[in-house]
Amino acid sequence: MNKRIAERATVYLILTVLAVFTLYPVAYSFFLSVMKPEEASAFPPSIVPHTFNPANFIDVFGIVPIAAFIGNTFLVSGIVMAGQLITASLAAYAFAKMEFKGKSFIFSLFVASMMVPWEVTMIPNYLTVRSLNWLDTYQGMTVPFLATAFGTFLLRQFFLQLPKELFEAARMDGCGHIRYFLQHVLPLSRPAIGTLAVYSFLNMYNAYLWPLLITNSEGMRTVQIGISMLEFQESTSWNLVFAGITLAILPSLLLLMFGLKQLVRGMAAGALKG
């Protein structure tokens, strides 16, 4: 009995140490965001803050339009999330519940496209967006991301777990594919849909390279780019930079905190059946 308690205590101790190492960079960002300039730039750096200066956050709002940047990021992330939920759920239903010629081959192409790095497609996407005159627009930032092979794969795995008897019973009641999809499949697939929603939103919220590539005006910038405006050529106030970073990561941390259970449940459900 004592041996089992000791083993469990050891496991918890190791997990606690690993959690501290994992979370400390995030906590250190919060610590730096409330330090005074001289303490934030001191060497050796302070591990914990010895001063508390919340005015850093007010200064960030005065230097760059961080609220507009966060609003832009939320808008772009919300559009991409909604688009991916619609396209991925429809494609996943077709692959899971409908029969058509070449279904296995087309789905294999979907899965194979997940192996292509985003950087390989970035230049063709940029040339396409430029030819459509979508540079520095919301269309240019969102349309290339409205469909995702990963989302289709995730939802298809979940849809396959729904019992065939449910579909057969619905068909006997005169239910077609559209009604069955809307009234039965979607309500029963909330864990997987919630997982895809959280994943797609956070993925787009943290995007940096694509918004930097296609936006030129300050009014179209997202918060990840806006933070870089807090760095100056002459000197950098790290307390202001990290105050901006804290403001940027706070919404995503809150979303992750409230959606973590849904995210884990959906990932586990999707991994049960191949």
Q: What is the DSSP string of 32-92?
A: HHTS-HHHHT-SSPPSS-SS--THHHHHHHHHS-HHHHHHHHHHHHHHHHHHHHHHHHHHH
158 close to 192: Cβ distance less than 8 angstroms: yes
Burial of 256 (0-12, 13-18, 19+ CB in 10 A): middle
Rounded to the nearest 10°, the torsion over CA 120, 125, 128, 131 is -110
166 close to 175: Cβ distance less than 8 angstroms: no
Chain segment 134-174, per-residue pLDDT in tens: 999 999 999 999 998 999 998 998 899 888 888 888 888 88
Full pLDDT tens readout for the chain, 274 residues:
678 888 889 999 999 999 998 888 888 888 888 888 888 888 887 778 888 888 888 888 888 888 899 899 999 999 999 999 999 999 999 999 888 898 899 999 888 988 888 888 888 999 999 999 999 999 999 999 999 899 999 899 889 988 888 888 888 888 888 998 998 899 888 888 988 898 899 899 989 889 999 998 888 888 888 888 877 656 677 888 888 888 888 877 887 777 777 666 666 655 444 4
> Could you tell me the two tokens for 76?
């772009």
Chain segment 187-212, per-residue pLDDT in tens: 888 888 988 898 899 899 989 889 99
Please tell me the CATH code under which domain 66-236+250-271 is placed. Answer: 1.10.3720.10
CA atoms within 13 A on the CB side of 243: 28
The whole-model pTM stands at 0.82
Domain coordinates in residue numbering, the chain: 66-236+250-271
> Could you tell me the two tokens for 255?
């979303």
Q: What is the DSSP string of 163-192?
A: -HHHHHHHHHTT--HHHHIIIIIHHHTHHH
Among 221, 258, 241, residue whose Cα is nearest residue 67? 221
pLDDT score, position 274? 42
